[in-house]
Amino acid sequence: MPHQCGMDRPDRRCHAEEVSGFGRPAAAGPGADLHRRMDRIVVGVVVLARVTVLGIVVPSVAAGVQQNSYTNVLMASAAYAAVALFGALLIALAVRTVRRPLLPAWVMAADVALLSTAMILLPRAVTPQYLTAAPNPDLEPVMVVVGVTVALVTTSARWTAVACTVLGASYVFGVATRIHTTSGVWSSLSPALWMFSTAGCCAVFIRGLRATADAVETANRQLMAQREQLAADRADEQARRRHFREQVRRHRALHDGPLRILTAIAGPGPLGHHDERARRQCAIAANVLRGTTPDGPHGTLTDLSLALVEAAADSAAAGLRVEYHFAGLPDDLPEAVVGAFASASAEALANVAEHAGVSRARVTALAGSGMPHQDPDATGRPAVTVAIVDQGKGFDDAVTEPGYGIRNSIVAPMREVGGDAAVDSHPGQGTRVDLRWPA
């Protein structure tokens, strides 16, 4: 019997195709092991039911022989022999395939066709009285078992219904053509309906079990994928940390060597260069070295981080030492946004160098952190914040109006690109300038 279980969508799997010989074998895994266990159960049920039903038919045959009810012994013998021999063949095939896919489609089709033919011919080989008096005279138990076998093997409600319809129609037709009473015809419907209900229950039951096995297999695949992803993430994290440790070693070498020398040459001390231009270039070079050395395992160089380092060049030349912290910055910010951040940061650092009375400032640039609004923008990029902090003189922002530089060189550039800026300062506690995009 051809198999079309109706589950042919690409995102769904057919239970029967994977485990019953109607398609590819089941995949490995706990789900496949459950399928194999169910295969063994199905084989056991099929074998036990077929052996039992053949034992039920034997007393009916003996009763017919004793009552001389067989009018065509050759036809009756052929029908019984065919059913018995094919039943034995099916048992042998089922036992042989315990460790393989279950019974193939042609076996199921042949079983249904052979039994339907036997149930049409057998009533013509016996007397009408035998059909009404003897128990199970027309292979009724075999009909029920074959319907159940189709349901268990195919797990298809459609083909279970087709097989049961063919079997039931053959049975009713065979009996009705020999028993010409209305009660006899109606009584023949009872075994057919019993077959339908039993096979239907078995189909629903086995499909539920197969679905459960598939769910277990799917969950196992997902778990294995998650474990592999976790292992890959751990490997990536270890690689990043190794890379960071290497960067730390390089940074230490820079700090203990070129950076210390450049800082000394740029300073006013005895090692400072007598030429102001040389001191300026050394200060800028030292500032660049500090800013382009990532200070965390996730630190990377982006257009924004490089622009912020360049923005501090003039302040570094004026003697301001800038420390940097960059983390998670997107590398695809619009050029206008990068320019606004750089311009506003340069103005804020210039104010520190001129008014704060300190020689150090810190620039922190983060993605999606420390901001009132952290939702991505329309392109999916995370929000970005840049903070310029010093611990200088500060001022009372509650009574002091923002100067021209704050209004036009810090706030205005950020708002022009859809961002915003805020200044928080207190006398004797320093100043903090927050730049954020988007606003």
Mean pLDDT of the 174-184 span: 72
Cβ contact 303:273 at 8 Å:
no
Nearest to 98 by CA among 41, 23, 52: 41
Between 382 and 135, the more confident residue is 382
Domain boundary among 228, 251, 281: 228
Residue percentage of the chain with pLDDT more than 90: 15
In whole angstroms, give the CA distance from residue 251 to residue 69: 105
Angle at 391 between CA 351 and CA 253, to 5 degrees: 95
214 and 351 within one domain: no
413 located within any domain:
yes
In whole angstroms, give the CA distance from residue 436 to residue 439: 6
Between 75-84, 345-354, 365-374, 386-395, the lowest mean confidence (pLDDT) is in: 365-374
Q: Answer whether residue 411 shows pLDDT above 80.
A: yes
Name the β-bridge partners of 426: 430
332 and 203 within one domain: no
pLDDT in tens, 28-71: 555 567 777 788 888 888 888 888 887 777 777 887 787 788 88
237 located within any domain:
no
Q: How many CB atoms lie within 10 A of CB 130?
A: 21
89 and 223 within one domain: yes
- Give the range of the structural domain holding residue 402, as residue numbers without chain letter: 294-437
pLDDT in tens, 281-323: 666 666 666 666 655 555 567 888 888 888 877 777 777 888 8
308 and 223 within one domain: no
pLDDT band with cut points at 50, 70 and 90 for residue 338: very high
144 located within any domain:
yes
Cβ contact 310:287 at 8 Å:
no
354 and 211 within one domain: no
180 and 31 within one domain: yes
Q: DSSP letter for 123, please.
A: G
412 located within any domain:
yes
Q: Return phi, psi of residue 397, to 5°.
A: -70, -10
Q: How many CB atoms lie within 10 A of CB 366?
A: 18
Cβ contact 57:229 at 8 Å:
no
408 located within any domain:
yes
Nearest to 289 by CA among 330, 329, 331, 257: 257
Q: Answer whether residue 259 shows pLDDT above 60.
A: no
Domain boundary among 228, 251, 270: 228
3 located within any domain:
no
CATH of the domain at 309: 3.30.565.10
177 and 47 within one domain: yes
Highest mean pLDDT among 41-55, 171-185, 354-368: 354-368
Number of domains in the chain: 2
Q: Answer whether residue 336 shows pLDDT above 70.
A: yes
Cβ contact 52:40 at 8 Å:
no
In whole angstroms, give the CA distance from residue 242 to residue 136: 80
7 located within any domain:
no
In whole angstroms, give the CA distance from residue 381 to residue 38: 51
214 and 72 within one domain: yes
224 and 91 within one domain: yes
Mean pLDDT of the 188-198 span: 85
**Considering Cα of 187, then 191, then 194, then 200, what sign does the dihedral take?**
negative
120 located within any domain:
yes
303 and 222 within one domain: no
Rounded to the nearest integer, the mean pLDDT of the chain is: 77
In whole angstroms, give the CA distance from residue 387 to residue 97: 72
Q: Answer whether residue 373 shows pLDDT above 60.
A: no
149 and 41 within one domain: yes
Domain boundary among 183, 208, 228: 228
Cβ contact 136:62 at 8 Å:
no
